[in-house]
Amino acid sequence: MDTPAVAVRGLVKRYGTVEAVRGIDLEVARGETFGFLGPNGAGKSTTINILCTLVEPTDGHAEVVGLDVVRDRAAVRRRIGLVFQDPTLDAPMSGEQNLRFHQELYGVDRRRAPARREEVLRMVGLWDRRGDEVRTYSGGMRRRLEIARGLLHSPQVLFLDEPTIGLDPQTRGTIWDYVAELHRSEEITVFVTTHYMDEAEHCDRIAIMNEGRIVALDTPDALKAQVGADRVSITTDDDEAALRALRTELGLEGAVREGAVTIAVPDGAGFVPRLFDRLGGHGVAIRSVTVTRPSLDDVFLAHTGSTIRDAEAGPSMHPMAMRMRR
Ligand SMILES: Nc1ncnc2c1ncn2[C@@H]1O[C@H](COP(=O)(O)OP(=O)(O)OP(=O)(O)O)[C@@H](O)[C@H]1O
């Protein structure tokens, strides 16, 4: 069982002139929960689709549990579970009927099928609602049922493509609790894509993808430690004047991020009094100030020059203020 759960080398996918995946390398160990992060269009879905044998790579090589995703497609499919962005449940059927239908479709051993259904329904907390039609389920319950369905054939690797998209923050948390639980009970590898940076905290390791490339890959803590700086965000009546004063008075390059002037400094709390003093002396009124320890958002910012939300909204007005220190 030493072969990695996922091994990718020089993977490339082109759609016409669009280079969705630009030569990525990646290895995921058995039993890891591995997060794949990036803004819309980064190439996450394309990569996961290749690993799930749904899309063929243009170049490079990908293996899942030691099997080639192009040559051994059928064998790969038997060993993986998929939960994708587009819901594919049958709403007029009950939760359990949906699972039974799936088992029949995949030829699961009839004697073992009911016990496995019960197991997975209990795992995602839907056993009590198993007889209810899916149309009466909330968004979070549907997503949990899809996860249960992805687990029915006891896969070795479970691929989740944005399992929490469109859900409220509380339900997103619940989904992650179930992912952690099934990870413990099933001992499987979980490969999950998301563009919610906070969710990556649940992963053993994460890869940050941007414009078809992996720009960072490590544990969440190691990535945050590499950034090394606190983030100080201020709201002002005149952001341009604040940016100018930061530059001339303090020699710091700030940037406007999500409506606030943001500066990266080694000791955020210690910096605030100086900030008030110097900017105040320049006639810049500070309305509020926030100091945050490095988050995965900052990791993303350090590697790509924009926050993930700014990246999704379009090109930032301000060039990156902070570079990764290697
Ligand atoms: N079937 C396709 N035909 C043409 N272009 C495609 C196709 N699928 C993806 N692309 C393009 O490839 C790039 C990467 O898309 P991909 O869906 O992999 O990104 P993503 O990171 O998963 O984004 P999202 O978070 O929005 O799902 C985008 O520019 C997209 O438009």
ipTM of the complex: 0.95
Q: For a pocket test of ligand 1, which of 11, 12, 45 has the largest count of ligand atoms closer than 8 A to its C-beta?
A: 45
Angle value at C-alpha 85, between 304 and 147, nearest 5 degrees: 115
Ligand 1, atom 31, lies closest to the CA of 41
Lowest mean pLDDT, pick from 66-70, 122-126, 140-144, 176-180? 176-180
d(C-alpha 233, C-alpha 291), whole Å: 6
Q: Which tens digit of pLDDT belongs to each residue from 182-209?
A: 778 878 999 999 888 778 888 999 999 9
Between 304 and 140, residue with greater pLDDT? 140
Per-residue pLDDT band for 326 (boundaries 50, 70, 90) equals: very low
Residue 17 has pLDDT above 60, yes or no: yes
Residue 20 CA to ligand 1 center (angstroms) comes to 6
Ligand 1, atom 12, lies closest to the CA of 20
Residue 133 CA to ligand 1 center (angstroms) comes to 33
Residue 41 CA to ligand 1 center (angstroms) comes to 5
Closest atom of ligand 1 to 38 CA is 21
Between 86 and 174, residue with greater pLDDT? 174
* Cβ–Cβ < 8 Å for 259, 235: yes
Sign of the dihedral defined by the CA atoms of residues 33, 39, 45, 51, in that order: negative
In the chain, % of residues over pLDDT 70: 93
Mean predicted lDDT score pLDDT of the chain: 87
d(C-alpha 230, C-alpha 304), whole Å: 17
Rg of the chain over Cα atoms, rounded to whole angstroms, equals 23
Lowest mean pLDDT, pick from 4-8, 13-17, 282-286? 282-286
Per-residue pLDDT band for 313 (boundaries 50, 70, 90) equals: low
Residue 320 CA to ligand 1 center (angstroms) comes to 25
Per-residue pLDDT band for 319 (boundaries 50, 70, 90) equals: very low
Give the pocket of ligand 1 (CB within 6 Å). Answer: 15, 18, 20, 38, 40-46, 195
When pLDDT is averaged across residues 248-272 and rounded to a whole number, the result is 89
Residue 23 CA to ligand 1 center (angstroms) comes to 15
The domains found in the chain, sorted by start residue, are: 6-218 (3.40.50.300), 225-313 (3.30.70)
- The whole-number pLDDT of residue 320 equals 34
d(C-alpha 143, C-alpha 137), whole Å: 10
- The whole-number pLDDT of residue 158 equals 93
When pLDDT is averaged across residues 292-297 and rounded to a whole number, the result is 83
